[in-house]
Amino acid sequence: MKKAFNSGKLKKVKPASHREKPSENSESGYVTGSLKWAIAFTVSLGAILEVIDTSIVNVALNDMQATLGATVSEIGWVVTGYAIANVILIPLTAWLGDYFGRKRYFIFSMVGFTIASVMCGLAPNLNLLIISRILQGLCGGGLLAKAQAILFETFPPSEQGIAQAVFGVGVIAGPAIGPTLGGYLTDGLGWRWIFFVNIPFGILAIIMSVIFLPKDRQTGKQHQAVDWWGIALLAIAVGAMQTFLEEGQSDDWFDSGFITALAITGIIGLGLFIWRELAIKNPAVNLRVLRYRSLAAGSLYSGILGMGLYGALFAVPLFAQSVLHFTATQTGLLLAPGALASAIVMVLLGKISGKVDSRILIGIGAVGTSLTMLQLSTITPQTGTEDLFIPLIWRGAFTVLMFLPLSLATLGSLPREAISAGSGFYNLTRQLGGSVGIAILTTLLARREAFHREDLVSYLTPYSNETTQRLDSLTGAFQNKGMDLTTAHQQALTLLDQTVNTQAAVLSYADIFRFVALVFFCSLPLLFFLGKGAGKNAPPAH
């Protein structure tokens, strides 16, 4: 029996094969045992809360507007303020995690997010609600990117697939869960409960973070000078760009001096920010990680994925509510099966993703999503839930085939010291891609609807037999209800105009779906620049 000397006394020691395994592998640095799964569920819970809060307020804006006495443009800042704060913080998460410690920073973000949720729910006026949402967005930005980085740093390459699947379930399903949950809470309890619901889950995530997240290590970066100029330029550049995207359509884009100023500020600010971060030794945002080709290409593809993911989820609920006249709850239920399909496929894919080239899976997902969008483009004014059910199921499944393998192909091959910064870029491009996609689709929707209306109206002339017959039939129907000839004729004209507007709207939504399909088809060449997945060395860009 081996013996060891401990504190001046002889002590029997178990053979090495019978000793308890440490929670962290000293050679690889990866966490082992059940602790790694506790960490996965902890950080994923925080990320899910952040993603859901991105979309949960959308169905409650009308109720907020009525309660707070706000205009449509004013209440829109409840969404815009959160989005701007979110995208400003995401690129800084790597530096903040290094400076304060990843555990300390994640817990701080979770505490801040929960407190901000309470402030949003209790806000007595619009100004305080907007300020609280900005605070919520700032804290939420630290949850999403940091959660994914922690998972890559916790799990070995062979288990990255299932770990990222746990994380991805929330990120993919969150945008669909948000409106569903928001509709139920708003209709049943009032809009303030869409914020109060975060409290118990936030407290649970905080407790789990304190218990399960590994203790922070000293990296030496805590004593580095803070790049205040870089942080300021990032806030100016990204804040101006995000506001430009959020408010551009409502202000008629470059016809507005404010929107034009935002575009100029964003471009100049971005140029100065890039110059600053490449010129100093210890930047707030490490742009040098983009030398890895897989990260550069993957981040670009992430932006396209964001356009498709958030753009399609933007168009479908809008079509359901504006054309089919669904309630918020009905719209949420329409999206729920697709979210469930995403979750199921995500878990299944997590078990096989390490055995299949990620680029093949992404290609299948892109082609499948394109075909699904083309199927959705066949909508008509008579389209119902049963017509949308199967396409939305396929959309949810095919999106996962892009999301999970893309995360592994983009981040899984990076050196561990580059993962945190890489995760920030990857999540930032997806968020900005969603904003760009929604901005493009909103503008395209308005302009195509005007185009189709003008085209349809050109056929409605007194010299058209079809138009005359339709108008006479409607007038006769209203007369049979007791209206005089003049009133009946006017009502017939109004109904005919509404029919034209509905048909123009349907055609414009069909154009939207075809546009998204085209974007995914055109993205396929980017696959050649991606890595095969986790466990491979990421080649630098040449």
Q: Apex CA 430: angle with CA 427 and CA 435, to 5°?
A: 130
**How far does CA 147 lie from the centroid of its chain?**
14
pLDDT for 277 equals: 82
Contact indicator for 317, 331 with CB cutoff of 8 Å:
yes
Beta bridge partners of 9: 6
Q: What is the pLDDT of residue 528?
A: 79
How long, in residues, is the chain?
A: 542
Note the maximum CA span of the chain. 111
Q: Pick from 398, 388, 304, 389: which is nearest to 342 by CA?
A: 398
Q: Residue 135 has what pLDDT?
A: 92
Count, in order, helices (H) and strands (E) of the chain. Answer: 19, 2
What pLDDT sits at residue 112?
93
Tokens (6 digits) for 375: 């199927």
Exposed/middle/buried for residue 495 (C-beta within 10 Å: 0-12, 13-18, 19+): middle
**In a 3-state reduction of DSSP, which class is residue 347?**
helix
Q: Which residue has the tokens 């000793």?
A: 19
Gap between the Cα atoms of 315 and 313, Å rounded = 6
Residue 120: per-residue pLDDT: 92
The confidence score (pLDDT) of residue 200 equals: 93
Q: How far is CA 142 from CA 90, 128, 252, 416, 521, in A?
A: 6, 22, 33, 19, 33
The answer for residues whose C-beta is within 8 angstroms of residue 515's C-beta and 6 or more apart is 440, 441, 444
pLDDT digits (tens, 9 = 90+) for 406-460: 877 788 777 877 877 887 778 788 777 877 777 788 788 888 888 888 888 877 7
The 8-class DSSP code of residue 11 comes to: E
Instruction: Give the tens place of pLDDT for each residue, 511-532.
Output: 988 988 888 888 888 887 776 6
- How many Å apart are CA 117 and CA 154, to the nearest integer? 29
Q: How far apart are the first and last CA of the chain?
A: 58
CA distances from 166 to 41, 150, 337, 388 (A): 7, 13, 18, 27
Give the gyration radius of the chain's Cα atoms. 26
Number of Cα atoms under 13 Å in the Cβ half of residue 27: 1
- What's the pLDDT at 222? 56
Q: Which of 113, 112, 132 is nearest to 122 (CA)?
A: 132
**What pLDDT shows up at residue 6?**
44
- The stretches in the chain having pLDDT less than 50 are 1-27, 535-542
pLDDT the model gives residue 220:
54
